[in-house]
Amino acid sequence: MAATFTDATFDTDVIKSDKLTVVDFWAEWCGPCKALGPIIEQLSTEYAGKVNVGKLDVDSNPDVSTKYGIRSIPTILFVKGGQVVDKVVGAVPKGQLQSTIEKHI
């Protein structure tokens, strides 16, 4: 199951993680975000133990969203070693997300 990231946990769960972390910035009212949700859940299962995969609700967590300049959702950030190493904007196919993950693990 995909993790839930928040403003309070982002530093510990994402920035200080020793693994690649995939963060899906989403909102309940966003149709494309809902379409991407099941793909994020699948990736969290497929990469369990190798990659951290989770979601951050932009409405409930404005600090992290603002810090990383999230203007469109869904936006997926790929964070490794405390740095954003890649970014995907929009509801994209699962294969594109897998390719990006594989490039960075």
pLDDT in tens, 23-77: 999 999 999 999 999 999 999 999 999 999 999 999 999 999 999 999 999 999 9
Q: What is the pLDDT of residue 15?
A: 98
- For the structural domain made of 3-104, what CATH number should be given? 3.40.30.10
Active site residues: 30, 33
Vertex 61 angle, CA 57 and 66, to 5°: 110
Give the domain ranges of the chain: 3-104
- pLDDT band for position 105 (cuts 50, 70, 90): very high
pLDDT of residue 46: 98
Question: Strand 52-57 relative to strand 3-4: parallel, antiparallel, unpaired?
Answer: parallel
At residue 10, the pLDDT reads: 98
- CA distances to 43, 74, 75, 79 from 15, rounded to whole Å, are 20, 20, 17, 7
